[in-house]
Amino acid sequence: MGKNFIGLDTEKTAKLADSLNDLLSNYQIFYMNVRGYHWNIKGDNFFELHVKFEELYDDLLLKIDEIAERVLTLGHRPAHAYSTYIERSEVPERKDVSDGKEAMGNIVESFAKLIGKQRALLSLAGEAEDEGTVALMSDYISQQEKTVWMYRSYLGH
């Protein structure tokens, strides 16, 4: 087994990079969905949700960059085409959503998919002794679990 330039097994890092690119694809579609919610929201909670969606897409954009840079750190190339994102994403593309409850429900569903993928990556990274990816996924999971709880509370669940 060979090691890459940061001392990790090359075969295991290839699997990690592929999983991170899968996660990146899901984040990119989720990001565009949230941008659409921000732009198209209407109704009683417009002001509150317009701001909340902007906070969320700003956070998603930071994470997109971190994930892509982690792929590069592992010695691989991040996915960078929307055709790839659409092909690989399990987060469905959402169009023309203007209802706040529908948007929030979609966000909760998207986070469930992301958290599941991040848990799988956490395990894979642990097996590869990749502390950088472990730390990143741990941070995302703990932050997003709280976010999901708050969004579900907003929905009355």
- What is the pLDDT at residue 102? 97
Per-residue pLDDT of the chain (157 residues; tens, 9 = 90+): 688 888 888 999 999 999 999 999 999 999 999 999 999 999 999 999 999 999 999 999 999 999 999 999 999 999 999 999 999 999 999 999 999 999 999 999 999 999 999 999 999 999 999 999 999 999 999 999 999 999 999 999 8
Superfamily of the domain at 10-154: Ferritin, core subunit, four-helix bundle (1.20.1260.10)
- What is the pLDDT at residue 4? 83
- For residue 86, CA distances in Å to 38, 61, 92, 108 come to 21, 17, 8, 19
Residue 3 sits at φ, ψ, to 5 deg, of: -115, 145
- What is the pLDDT at residue 6? 81
Q: 0.75 cut: is pTM over it?
A: yes
Q: Output the furthest CA–CA distance in the chain (Å, rounded).
A: 59
- For residue 73, CA distances in Å to 7, 32, 69 come to 11, 25, 6
- What is the pLDDT at residue 15? 97
- For residue 114, CA distances in Å to 2, 91, 108, 111, 146 come to 30, 8, 10, 5, 14
